[in-house]
Structure 1
Amino acid sequence: MSDSGPATPATRLQSTKFGDDLAPVTWPDEFPGTWEGCPREPLLQVLSRGIDRFGGQQVLLFDDGAAFTAHELREHAERFAGHLSTLLATGDRVVLALSNRAEYVIAFLAVLANRCVVVSVPPDIGTHDAQYAVDNAGCVLAVTEDSSDAVMRGLVGTVASLRTVIKVRDPEPSGFDHLLQGVTPLRLVDVQASLDDLVDIGYTSGTTGLPKALGGRHDETLRYMDVHLRRRRATTESMRMLMPLQLHYGDPLTYLFAAMCSGDSLVLMRKFSASRFWDVARASGATDILSIGAVPNLLLGRPEGPTDRDHKIRHATALAIPPDRHAELERRFGFPWSESYGSSESGPAISMPAHVAAEFVGSGALGIPLPDVEARLVDLDGHVVEGPGSGELELSGEIVFEGYLGNPAATAEVLHDGWLRTGDLMHRDARGVYYFEGRRKEVIRRSGINIAPAEVEAVLRRHPAVLDTAVVPVDDPVMGEEIKAYVELVPGATFDPARLSDFCAQRLTRQKIPRYIEHRVEPFPRTASQRIPKKELMVNGRHTTDAAWDRLGGQTHAR
C-alpha cells in the first residue's frame, strides 16, 4: 500500500457474460467510484475533519438512553491518549475486552493516537482464548471491565508481554478519568500516521485449527467507510442505523466512523434482545438496520402484533436473510430488506442494487459484486466456471486483505495469483447474480454426496415450531457421515421430531433429510454476529447422537 492520496476510480468490473434472454444486473452508472465516498488518508485525519464539521450532533446512542456527540468522544479519547503515551511505544498492541459502551470507542481512538494497534476480543472471553490472543499478538496492555478484568489480570506474569491492565469505571463516558489528573491531551489531528500502520488485529473462528490473526491497516477501515458513504449518497435524508451487534465485532465501529463524517448516527443495544428490539427502534428514532446472522429469524419468532410497524425504519441490510421468510419480513415489518456479502478477509464485496432488489425477494440472492470488485466461481477441479453455474467464490479487485499475520501457510491457502479464495460455495445465475450455497469446509459428505448444512437449515427454519437450528455431520460406519440437526423451538412448541423429519422429506431430496434430530433445551450459544458456533455444541470434540431422535430407529437415544 502507498501513501499517495486518493486513488483513481477503478474500472467497473461487473461482467456482462450471462445469457441473452435477460439483461445482466449492474450497478447504476452514477454509482460513485472507489474512494469518492471517503478519502484514502490516515484514519484519524479523516475522522478529525468529520468531527470538526458534525461533532456537535449525537453520533452514538444506546438502548438505555445514553447518547454522546463526536466532540465528547474525541475529547475523552485525546485525554486518554495522553495517559497512554506514557505507557506505550509506537506499534505496541493493546487488547480491548469491553462491551458496548462509549469507552470502547474512546480507547480505540486513544490507542490509534499513539500509533499502536488494537486487539479486539469479546468481554466474556475465556482464559484459554484470552491467553492465546494476548500471547499471539504480543499485547503489552489490556483495557477491561467487570466481566473481563479477572481473566486479563490473571495473564500478567503468565504472558510475558502483558505488563498493564486498566479497568474502566463508571460513570460513562468518564471511565478513564481516574487516571487523567494533570495529563496533557494528545490531539488526534496531530498524529502523523501512515496508511501502512496496523490499526487492529482480529481473530478468526475458523472450522479447523487455531484462530488466525487478521491485521487491518488504515485502508481496510477506510474501505468499509468508503463503501458505506458511496452508497449513502443515494439519499439526502439523515440516517440513524440500529445494529444488533457488539462494537468488538467491527461493523458497528466502521459505521460509527462513517457517521462521524456524514452527520449520521449509530444506535447500539448493550445486549441484543429480540423482545426489546422494536421498542429500541421506536424510542431511538432509528431509520435503518444492519443485521447479521440469526437476527431476522429471531425477530420473526416473536409473536406478531399491531406495533410491528410502529417505527421509522426505512430499510434493512442483512447478511443471510432466510429466503423463505424474506417476504414475511417485509410484509410484517413494513420495509424492504436486502442482502449483502463480505467476510473478515474480503471486506464489502457483493450487494444487491436497490433498483432491482424487489425482483429477488425470497430468492436467496445476495446481489452482484460491487463495481470495483471482481468475482469468479471455481469448480472442484480448479477450473473457472463461465456463465451460470456453481463453485467456490473467489474475489479480486479492491480487496485489501494481505494475509494472516505470522502465518504464511494459512495465507497461501487463501491467496493465489491475485485472487482470494473465500471458502464459500456459490451459484451464479444467468443475470450475474450470486447465491450462497454453503461453506466448503462445512459440507457433509454422505455416501459420496456433498450436502450443504445451510440448505437443510433453511428448510428447518421454515417450520413454525423451529426458532433456529444447526445442522452438522456425525460419523457413520456405513455412510461415512450422517446428518444431525440441533433444533431450538419457539416458546410453547412441542418437540415432535417425526413431524420435523416429514417436513424435511416434503422439501428435500432423500439424501438431505437429517437422520438425527436433537432438541436444544437451552438457547443456542451465539457469536458476536449472532451466528451459532457449532464447535460449542460438541461433546469431547465431536457431535454425538446420544440425546438425538433417530429417524431410522424412531426413538430418542438415552443419554
Structure 2
Amino acid sequence: MPSPATHATPVSWPDDFPATWTGCPRLPLPTLLAQATDTFGDRPVLLFDDGTALTGNDLRRHAERFAGYLATVLQPGERVALAMGNRAEYVTAYLAVIANRAIVVSLSPEIGSHEAEFAVTDAHCVLAIADDRSHQVLTALRATGSTPLRDVITVGDNEPDGFAHLTADTIPLNFTDVDAALEDLIDIGYTSGTTGLPKALAGNHAETLRYIDVHLRLRRLHDDGPQRMLMPLQLHYGDPLTWLFGAMCCGDSLVLMRRFSASRFWEVARTTQATTILTIGSVPSMLLSQPESPADRDHDIRSAIALAIPPQQHAELERRFGFSWTESYGSSESGPAIKMPLDVAAEFVGTGALGIPLPDVQARLIDEQGQLVEGPGTGELELSGEILFSGYLDNPSATAEVLHDGWLRTGDLMRRDDRGVYYFLGRSKEVIRRSGINIAPTEVEAVLRQHPDVVDAAVVPVPDAMMGEEIKAYVELTPKATFDPRGLADFCAERLSRHKVPRYIELRTTAFPRTPSQRIPKKQLMVDGMHRTTHAWDRALDSEPAS
C-alpha cells in the first residue's frame, strides 16, 4: 500500500517535543507518588464503573497502612504473587509490596492451577495476595507444600478497606521513608511467546518511570487539558497501572470497568465523564458489533489511543463514535516505542499505519537475510535508544535471542513507507508460509472482520503436504447469522490475493477465549496441540465440516 500522501515528506515530531525525563523526575515510585499526592492528592484519580471513586490521598493512605502490615511478614527482595481483579486493593497491594522493596508477581485472578504452580515456583513467591476468584487455587497450591508459598492473604469484601482485618493495629509505612533504588526490581510478569514456556519479565522503578515520563511529555506536547481515561483492561495487564501512576502525577484520572462489556461501554463513558479511551486487541471490533444507537455519541470522549486499529474499520470507528483514533505501539520488552503524531493522523486513517518512533527511540528493519533495510521496505523491527529492557529473568538464552549489540529484536514484521511511517504486518513466528509465500494472519483476519456476520476471526497455519502450510480461519458469528463458509471465502477472494484466501474455515460455537488484553490466545484453539481441520469447511473440496 503506498503512502497516503502524494509526496514523500518525512513524518516527524515537532521540534518542541519535551526532552526525555522532563515529564517526571527519576525517583523511586513511592517517593514520586508521595510528592505527587502532596500536590494532587485531593483529586479523584481512580474511578470504577459502579461509582466507586478514590483520590490519590485515599490510595496512598490505604497503601501505607497495608505496607506497614507487610513489613512484619516480608523481607526486601522477596516475591509476592498478586492475583486480583479490578478493585482498589490491587493498587493498594502493589504499592505496599514495592514500598517494602519486595517484588510483585502479577497474575490473572482467573489463573489455573497449572499456571499458578509454574509462576509461583519459577518466581519463588513466598506470599500470595488473592481475591475470591484466585483464593481457592492459591490456597490449594500452598497446601501441597511443593512451592515456596508461606501464606495466602485474601482481600475482604469491603472495598477499599479489604485489608482492614490486617492493618487495624499496624503502624503505617510512610512512602517518604522508603529507601529504594531505581534499579530495584518491583514487578515480574510472564510473557508467553509463540513457543516454549512463559518467560519472566522483571521490571525496575526506572522502567515504570519510562511509561510515566512518555505519557506526561505527550500530555504536555498536546496540552489539551485534564484527561479522564477509560481503559477496558485489567490492572494486572500493566497499562492501567502505569497510566494511573501518571495520572496521580498530573491530576488526571483513570476509569476502569470491573469487567469489559461492549454493550455497556458507552454508558460507562457517559456516566463517568471520560474524555479519552485506550483500546487494545479486538475491542474496536467488539464495539462496532453492537447495534448502532444514539449512545454511540452521547459522551465526552475526545480521542482514542488504540493498539492495533483494524484498518478497514478505522474510518467507521471515527464516523460512528465521533472522535479520532490513533495508533500506539510498544511491547512488554520495549515499552512505548512508536506512535502516530496527531498533526498527520487524519492522513493515515484506514492505512494500518502505526506511526513513527518516539524522538528518543531508534528503529530499523532487518530482512530475512539479516541485512539492514534502507528506505522503504519490509523486515523485522529492531529498536534501540530509550529501551530499558535488560533481559528475561534468569533466562540468558531467551535474552540472547532478543538482545544483540544494543538492539532489541521485537519479533514483529513491519513495513516502512517512503515517509518513514511503520505498518505492522504480523509476528515473524506467526507468519504462514504457503508455497514459499509469506502471509500475515492479521491481514486475513482484518478482512474477515469486515464481513457483517463476523464478530471476530483467528487465522492460523495448518500443515499441508503440497503447500507446506495452508490457511485456516476460525470465525465467531453474530447471534442470528448463518454459517456460510463458501460466502466467507468468496468475501475474502474479492478483497485478497488468491493465495491469501483461507482454505479451511471453522465455526466457533462458543465465544473466543480472550487474554486480559482482549486478544485471542490461538494456542487455546488447538486440539491435542494442533490446529485440526476435521471440523472445518474445506474450500478445495467445498465440503461441509464433519459432524
TM-score of the superposed pair, with normalisation by structure 1: 0.96
Query: Are 1:38 and 2:21 counterparts?
Result: no
* Helix, strand or coil at the partner of 1:183: coil
Indicate if the aligned counterparts of 1:144 and 1:168 stay in contact, CA closer than 8 A: yes
Specify the alignment match of 1:95 in structure 2.
81
Aligned position for 2:115:
129
Specify the code of the residue in structure 1 equivalent to 2:188. I
Between stretches 444-453 and 409-418, larger displacement belongs to 444-453
Q: Helix, strand or coil: the match of 2:424?
A: strand
Q: Which residue number corresponds to residue 443 of structure 2?
A: 455
1:276 paired residue among 264, 283, 301: 264
Please tell me whether the aligned partners of residues 120 and 147 of structure 2 are also in contact (alpha carbons under 8 angstroms): no
Residue identity opposite 1:549 in structure 2: W
Query: Which residues in structure 2 correspond to 1:225-240 (within 5 Å)?
Result: 225-233=212-220, 234-240=222-228
| Structure 1 residues 137-167: Cα deviation after superposition (integer angstroms, max 9, x where no partner) | 0000000011101111112143431101000
* Residue in 2 that maps onto 1:264: 252
The amino acid of 1:319's aligned partner reads L
Q: CA RMSD in A?
A: 1.1
User: Within the alignment, does 1:389 sit opposite 2:377 as a pair?
Assistant: yes
| Corresponding residue of 1:52 | 38
Distance 1:51 1:59 in 2: 10
Report if the CA contact (8 A) 1:134-1:159 is conserved: no
Aligned to 1:9: none
Match of 2:203 in 1: 216
The alpha-carbon deviation at position 236 of structure 1 amounts to 4.7
> Which of 492, 517, 527 pairs up with 1:504?
492
- Once the two structures are superposed, residues 222-249 of structure 1 have per-residue CA deviations (whole angstroms, 9 ceiling, x without a partner) of 0000000001112251100000000000
1:362 maps to what in 2? 350
User: What is the match of residue 536 of structure 1?
Assistant: 524
Pairing partner for 1:117 from 103, 119, 130: 103
Hey, what's the Cα distance between the residues in 1 that align with 2:240 and 2:293?
29
Moved more, 105-114 or 21-30: 21-30
- The 3-state SS of whatever aligns with 1:461 is helix
Report the 3-state secondary structure (helix = DSSP H, G, I; strand = E; otherwise coil) of the residue aligned with 1:507.
coil
Give the secondary structure class of the aligned counterpart of 2:400.
Answer: helix
Q: Name which of structure 1's ranges 235-244 and 417-426 shifts more when overlaid on structure 2.
A: 235-244
Q: Size of the alignment, in residue pairs?
A: 541
Shift of 1:21: 4.3
1:240 and 1:320 map into 2 onto residues whose CA distance is 22
Match in the other structure for 2:147: 160
Tell me, yes or no, if structure 1 residue 428 matches structure 2 residue 416.
yes
Question: Are 1:250 and 2:232 an aligned pair?
Answer: no
Given the alignment, which residue of 63, 67, 71 partners 2:49?
Answer: 63
Alignment-derived partner of residue 441 in structure 1: 429
In the alignment, which of 524, 543, 547 is matched to residue 512 of structure 2?
524
Q: Which residue of 1 aligns with 2:189?
A: 202
Note closer, same or farther for the CA distance 1:70–1:402 as it changes in structure 2 (3 Å cut): same
Q: In the TM superposition, what whole-angstrom CA distance separates every residue of 1:413-455 from its partner, at most 9, and x where no partner exists?
A: 0000000000000000000000001110001111221111111
Q: Which residue in the other structure is 1:471 paired with?
A: 459
2:51 and 2:30 map into 1 onto residues whose CA distance is 28
Structure 2 counterpart SS, 1:154: helix
Segments of 5+ residues of structure 1 without an aligned counterpart are 1-18
| SS in structure 1 at match of 2:300 | coil
Question: Which stretch of structure 1 is more off in the superposition, 234-243 or 519-528?
Answer: 234-243
1 CA distance for matches of 2:468 and 2:8? 42
**Which secondary structure does the structure 2 equivalent of 1:146 belong to?**
coil
Change (3 A) 1:308 1:472: same
Distance 2:445 2:281 in 1: 13
Identity over aligned residues, as a percent?
Answer: 68
What is the SS of the residue equivalent to 1:61?
A: strand
CA distances 1:268-292 after superposition (whole Å, capped 9, x unpaired): 0000000000000000000000111
Task: For residue 151 of structure 1, give the secondary structure of its aligned residue in structure 2.
Answer: helix
2:267 counterpart letter in structure 1: D
* TM-score (structure 2 length as normaliser): 0.98
SS in 2 for 1:442: coil
Letter in 2 for 1:193: A
Which structure 2 residue ranges, 5 or more long, are not aligned? none
Determine if contact 2:267/2:295 at 8 Å carries over to the other structure.
no
CA contact (8 A) 1:525 1:532 kept: yes
Q: CA offsets, 1:346-391, max 9 Å, x none?
A: 0000000011101111110000000000000000000000000000
Instruction: Report the alpha carbon displacement of residue 20 of structure 1 after superposing the two structures with TM.
Output: 11
Structure 2 residue 330 is matched with structure 1 residue 342: yes
- 2:330 match: secondary structure: strand
1:4 match: none
- Tell whether the 8 Å contact from 2:40 to 2:250 is kept in structure 1 after alignment: yes
Deviation string for 1:258-309 (max 9, x for gaps)? 0000000000000000000000000000000011100000000001112211
- Other-structure match for 2:125: 139
Q: Which moved more, 1:468-477 or 1:411-420?
A: 468-477
Q: Name the aligned partner's letter for residue 358 of structure 2.
A: L
Aligned AA (2:269): A
